[in-house]
Amino acid sequence: MAHTKPTYLNFDEKNYAWKPDIDYRVEPLTYRVGKGEQGVLICEPYKTEIGQYWRFKTKEIADKSSKKIYALFMKYVKDDDFVGADMARKYLQMGYTRARRYANYKGGKKYDANNNYAILEKGTGDLEKAASADIFYKYWKLAEANELYAKRKKDWKNERG
C-alpha cells in the first residue's frame, strides 16, 4: 500500500486564497478560481445557497441535487454572476468526486489514519454511489461546456487567478 499522506494534513489556512469572512457577492474581485474544488466549502454566500442542495446518497437524490445545482449555475450565468456560476460548477464537480470516493472506498475513507495514512483498498465502496457520480459528472461537464461560462472563467483566471 502507498504511504502518500493526504494534502489536508499540511493545510496552510493563513495563506489559503479563500476566506470565510468575505462576502464574495459583495467583493467578487477577491475570488480566485483556483484548481478543482478549492474554496467550495468556504465562499459565502454561495456555500449556503448551493450547499443546501448538494446530496448524493442515492442516484435519485443525486439526480434531484445535480439538476437543482445546475439550474442555479444557469441562473448565475444568466445574471452575469461569475463567482456564483463557478461555485455551482465546483459543487457539481465535488458531487462527482465525493460520490466516486464513496463508490471506491468503504465509508468514503481513502486513507488509514491509524497506519501512517496508507491508502486503503479500493473497490470496497458503495456501488450506488457510482451511479450518483455519473449523474453529477454529466452536469459538471455540461456546466464546463457552457460557452459564456468558459469564456468568463478563462478571462477571470488570466486576470485574477
- How many domains are there within the chain? 1
Q: What is the rounded CA–CA span in Å between residue 16 and residue 22?
A: 13
pLDDT band at 107 (very low <50, low <70, confident <90, very high): confident
Mean pLDDT of 19-24: 96
> What is the per-residue pLDDT across 29-85, written as a single tens digit (0 to 9) for each?
999 999 999 999 999 999 999 999 999 999 999 999 999 999 999 999 999 999 999
The answer as to whether 88 is a domain residue is yes
The answer as to whether 4 is a domain residue is no
The Cα-based distances of 52 to 23, 35, 78, 160 in angstroms read 18, 23, 21, 28
pLDDT for residue 136: 98
The answer as to whether 13 is a domain residue is no
pLDDT for residue 8: 67
The answer as to whether 21 is a domain residue is no
The Cα-based distances of 9 to 6, 14, 17, 141 in angstroms read 6, 14, 17, 30
- pLDDT over 80 (residue 6): no
> What is the per-residue pLDDT across 59-68, written as a single tens digit (0 to 9) for each?
999 999 999 9
The answer as to whether 119 is a domain residue is yes
pLDDT for residue 1: 47
The Cα-based distances of 21 to 44, 45, 46 in angstroms read 8, 10, 13
The answer as to whether 27 is a domain residue is no
Q: What is the rounded CA–CA span in Å between residue 95 and residue 75?
A: 19
pLDDT for residue 127: 86
The answer as to whether 102 is a domain residue is yes
- pLDDT higher at 112 or 17: 17
Mean of per-residue pLDDT scores for the chain: 92
Q: What is the largest CA-CA distance in the chain?
A: 49
The answer as to whether 74 is a domain residue is yes
Residue 148, domain extent: 38-160
